[in-house]
Amino acid sequence: MSKSASEIEEKELIRKEFNELVDLCPRCKTEKGLKLVSKSFELARKAHKGVRRKSGEPYILHPLAVARIVAEEIGLGSTGVAAALLHDVIEDTDYTYEDLEAMFGTKVASIVDGLTKLSGVFDKNQSAQAENFKKLLLTMVEDIRVIIIKLADRLHNMRTLGSMPEHKRLKIAGETLFMYAPLAHRLGLYALKTELEDLSLKYEHPAVYQDIVNKIESKELKNREVIERFITPIEESLKKAGVEFKLISRPKSVYSIWNKMQKKNLPVDEIYDLLAIRIVFKHDEKIPEKAQCWNIYSLITDIYRPKPDRLRDWVSTPKANGYEALHATVMGPQGKWVEIQIRSERMDEIAERGFAAHYKYKGVQEKESELENWLQRIRELLDNSASDSMEFLDDFKLNLFSSEIMIFTPKGEVKVMPKDSTVLDFAFEIHTHLGYKCIGAKVNYKLVPISHKLKSGDQVEILTSEKQAPKYDWIKFVTTAKAKTSIKDAFKKERKEIILRGERLVEDALNKKKLTTNNRILNKLLRFHNIENKEELYFTIGSDKIDLSNLDKILREKSSNKLIKYWKLSFGGKKEKATPQQKIDKRKPYILSDDSEGDNYIIASCCNPIPGDDVVGYIDEEEKVILHSRKCPVAIKLMSSQGNQLVSAQWTTHKLLSFLAIIKLTGIDQIGIVNKMTKVISDDQNVNMRSIHVESHDGIFEGSIYLYIHNVEDLNNLIYNLMKIKGVHTVARQERIQK
All domains of the chain, ordered by start, with CATH? 3-163 (1.10.3210.10), 211-360 (3.30.460.10), 402-489 (3.10.20.30), 493-556 (no CATH), 566-571+588-651 (no CATH), 659-734 (3.30.70.260)
pLDDT value for 380: 65
Nearest to 118 by CA among 94, 95, 100, 143: 143
Asked whether 424 and 451 are in contact (CB, 8 A), the reply is: yes
Distance CA 450, CA 441 (A): 7
Beta carbons within 8 Å of 77's beta carbon, 6+ residues apart: 25, 27, 28, 33
Residue 98: count of CB within 10 angstroms of its CB: 9
The crossing angle, in degrees rounded to 10, of helices 673-683 and 712-723 is 150
Of 537, 519, 528, nearest in space to 561 by CA = 528
| Residue 385: per-residue pLDDT | 53
How confident is the model at residue 358, as a pLDDT?
Answer: 53
- How far apart CA 222 and CA 336 sit, in angstroms, is 12
Of the candidates 20, 57, 72, 92, the residue annotated as catalytic is 92
446-448: strand order across its sheet: 446-448, 438-443, 460-464
Integer Cα distance of 473 and 471 in angstroms: 5
What is this structure's pTM? 0.69
Contact assessment for residue 423 and residue 451, using Cβ atoms and an 8 Å cutoff: yes
Backbone angles phi, psi at 316, to 5 degrees: -70, -40
Q: Which of 10, 91, 143, 345 is catalytic?
A: 91
Q: How far apart are the first and last CA of the chain?
A: 64
Residue 395 annotated as catalytic: no
pLDDT of residue 123: 43
Q: Does residue 285 carry a catalytic annotation?
A: no
Count of other CB atoms within 10 angstroms of residue 738: 6
Residues 6+ apart with CB under 8 A from 461: 409, 410, 441, 442
Q: Rounded distance, CA 138 to CA 387, Å?
A: 17
Over the chain (739 residues), the average pLDDT of each successive run of 10 is: 67 86 81 88 87 83 91 84 89 84 86 70 46 61 78 91 83 82 81 91 88 79 76 91 86 82 71 75 89 93 89 83 86 83 88 61 46 65 55 59 77 82 93 92 90 89 90 87 84 83 87 80 79 81 81 66 35 41 66 59 80 81 79 76 74 69 87 86 81 84 87 86 87 67
